[in-house]
Structure 1
Amino acid sequence: MPSTLPPSAATDALTDRLLALLQWRSRIFHAGRYCGHWRASTAGHQLASFHWVMQGACWLHRPGHESRRLQAGEGVCLLRDERHHLSPHAEPAAVGAGPLQPMQAASCAAARGEDNTDCALVCGFVQFDGPQAAVLAASLPAVLWLHDGDGAQRALLPLLLAEARRMPDPDSPGPVLQRLSDLLLMLALREPLHQALQPRAAGRGAHGLMALAGEPALAPLLQALLADPAADWTAERMAGELHLSRASFFRLFTQAVGQPPAQFLLALRMQLAAQRLREGVSIARTAEQVGYQSESAFARAFQRVNGAQPGHFRRQHGATH
């Protein structure tokens, strides 16, 4: 059944479900304080990356884009690996005096001189997983901004800085700092996901899940699929959910999403299955929850879509978050 929630509440609920489906792993590269003449970048690793400013300020420089100042409480997540660097200088090519200074522990005394180059940062990498993760990430903006106006964020940043100050080595972040950084990343991801679900976003380069969510005529079907993925979702049943003929539904779905309904349903079920296995759900229960009565049939489908047997995937990724 389509959602009976008010439109705004239904969008919030769908945003949270998509955020859960956007499986990712992050790793802090380093966390500490830069002072004097410094330059930092996470480019060139073929991964998405992030930079959170815990204290002070710096400038983000991206070739072909206007430089942007980031102050305490702000951050950026670059979903594509692109050339960029952070520095204390407004001009990308500005050269300070002396050699580049390495990152120091966040607990070191701030060396704030007249040039105001002190900046405490958390920098790291993000990797997206699962069959629908790539299309979800591709539907988001290349750059996500974390602004200092969010209340949850304002509460997290002091905790992040306090935890970073406990670390004697900037290159050895602890588990608490990693979890706090993950929360900031979720905040950065949530708003663009919410925006992508608005009807005006339909047809603007979205693919897969995001195209389905952003198409008003099809969005109720996505809610129904997520609410009951184990149901017998034939093309006729999907068309009936939207009160369309089978031919009209197939044409609209394929045009909007870029793949046939059955192919999309398989990818969605396997993305949900990967989510369940990460949460520690048994293979048998996971298979049942995504519509498979046979564990062997589920294992074949999971292997085909996710590239690994369910047991191996669960041992490798289970209960990591």
Structure 2
Amino acid sequence: MPCSSPHQPVTTERVDALTDRLLSLLQWRSRIFHAGQYCGHWQASTAGHQMASFHWVLEGRCWLHRPGQPALQLQAGDGVCLLRDEPHHLSPWPDATSTDSGPLQPMLAAHCEVGEGEARCVLVCGFVHFDGPQTAVLTASLPPLLQLRGGNDGQSALLPLLLAETRRMPDPDSPGPLLQRLSDLLLMLALREPLRQALQPRTNGGGARGLLALAGEPLLAPLLQAILADPAADWSAERMAGELHLSRASFFRLFTQAIGQPPAQFLLALRMQLAAQRLREGLSIARTAEQVGYQSESAFARAFQRVNGAQPGQFRRLHISTH
């Protein structure tokens, strides 16, 4: 059903609903690198692996150092996610050039006793690999450094659980599955607020592309809501234009300028992102094809491989086996 007006007000509820939908579309695989405590003279970094990475501070404090940027202090309950691989390191000093005497100390298990009065920092650090055609566009539209600050209700609830699991680990390099899941929840919190900010309406452009540009453009956002609500519908250019009460030519011009690609190309990528999400959840290939608008499994398989680089069956087996 067409929307009642092409100028629907942008409400908090609409932004929140879109944030949740887009957050559910993000596909990633995270891996904890190590979790434990540092004491004395130490440095930690996840740079150089060509992957996004994260650092959660569970106890104590440290500083994040990046070339050309001021040192960022992190305390218990804080965290950072670096969406691009860039040079950085954590240390116990605000000065990146500090040269405390002695060798760098290794990470210890969080339950190990340390010297009385010795400052320590309990950290969970790891890597994130983002998947999917729209996921890359979404993350590219977000700031390269995402910050979590202590005091958020969600973080306050997760922090004691994360700390307790870290203390249970006998080896900093062997995290358990529960610690991994708790870390993923923190990662979702880190992504949610900047994603929500990126969805705020823009009056003079904001450099976003793809899903974020569509969601943040007041004239086009209702179309994204409609497609996400019924991705299997026959979303021809005429129907999309009608959804927004625009002529086909006006719609095509507005869409291409805002999104950077024609409607059909965008629709294909979005449907295949939704299909990947459903396959990861264990839905059959036939049901997945039907839910994203394909009556023919073979046509769906060709489209899926073209966009996601793998046959649906192969993709489903791989991702179900890793969850």
Q: Fold-level match, TM-score > 0.5?
A: yes
Q: Is the 8 A contact 1:202 1:215 kept in 2?
A: no
Please point out which of 10, 21, 24 is paired with 1:17.
21
Query: How far did residue 25 of structure 1 move?
Result: 0.9
Aligned position for 2:44:
40
Structure 1 residue 131 and structure 2 residue 133: aligned? yes
Instruction: Please report the TM-score for the alignment, with normalisation by the length of structure 1.
Output: 0.96
Deviation at 1:13, TM superposition (A): 1.1
Q: For 2:216, which of 214, 217, 230 is the aligned residue?
A: 214
Shift in alpha-carbon separation, 1:112–1:196, aligned structure 2, 3 A: farther
Moved more, 1-10 or 47-56: 1-10
The yes-or-no answer on 1:54 pairing with 2:67 is no
- Residue 168 of structure 1 aligns to a residue whose secondary structure is coil
**Structure 2 residue 113 is matched with structure 1 residue 109:** yes
Worse-superposed segment, 180-189 or 201-210: 201-210
Determine which of 125, 137, 142 is the counterpart of 1:140: 142
Distance 1:6 1:264 in 2: 23
Equivalent residue for 2:200, pick from 193, 198, 201: 198
Q: Deviations over 1:23-44 (max 9, x none)?
A: 1110000000000100000000
Which residue of structure 2 aligns with residue 287 of structure 1?
A: 289
Q: How far apart are residue 152 of structure 1 and its match?
A: 1.0
The corresponding residue for 1:154 is 156
> Matches of residues 1-321 of structure 1 in structure 2 within 5 Å?
1=1, 2=3, 7-111=11-115, 113=117, 117-200=119-202, 203-318=205-320, 320=322
Q: CA deviation at 1:111?
A: 3.6
Alpha-carbon spacing, 1:39–1:186, altered in 2? closer, same or farther (3 Å) = same
| C-alpha distance after superposition, 1:32-64 (max 9, x if no partner) | 000010000000000000000000000000001
Q: Offset at 1:213?
A: 0.6
Q: Secondary structure of the equivalent of 2:240?
A: helix
Q: List runs of 5+ in structure 2 lacking aligned partners.
A: none
Post-superposition Cα deviations, 1:141-166, rounded to whole Å, max 9, x if no partner, equal 10000110201101101110100111
Does the 8 A contact of 2:41 with 2:92 survive in 1? yes
Residue identity over aligned pairs, in percent, reads 78
Distance 1:298 1:5 in 2: 36
SS at match of 1:162: helix
Counterpart Cα distance in 2 of 1:35 and 1:111: 9
User: Deviations along 1:228-263, whole A, 9 cap, x unmatched?
Assistant: 000000000000000000000000000000000000
Distance 1:155 1:110 in 2: 27
Alignment CA distance shift 1:22-1:90 (3 Å): same
Decide whether aligned partners of structure 1 residues 256 and 5 sit closer, same or farther in structure 2, where only a CA change above 3 A counts.
Answer: closer
| Alpha carbons 2:10, 2:218 under 8 Å: kept | no
Distance 2:225 2:137 in 1: 18
The aligned amino acid for 1:95 is: T
- State whether residues 278 and 320 of structure 1, in contact with CA within 8 Å, keep that contact through their aligned partners in structure 2: no
- Per-residue deviation at 1:292? 0.1
Distance in 2 between the 1:181 and 1:111 partners? 28
TM-score computed with the length of structure 2 as normaliser: 0.96
Question: 1:278 touches 1:319 (CA, 8 Å); kept in 2?
Answer: no
Please provide the CA RMSD for this pair.
1.6
Distance between the aligned counterparts of 1:55 and 1:291, measured in 2? Answer: 49
Q: Letter of the aligned partner of 1:38 in structure 2?
A: W
AA paired with 1:267? A
The alpha carbon displacement at 1:95 in A equals: 1.1
CA distance in 2, matches of 1:131, 1:282: 21
Distance 2:9 2:180 in 1: 35
**Alignment partners' CA distance in 1, 2:204 and 2:39:** 45
- In structure 1, the gaps of 5 or more residues are none
Q: Give the Cα–Cα distance (whole angstroms) in 2 for the partners of residues 7 and 275 of structure 1.
A: 27
In 1: Cα distance, 2:321 partner to 2:19 partner: 22
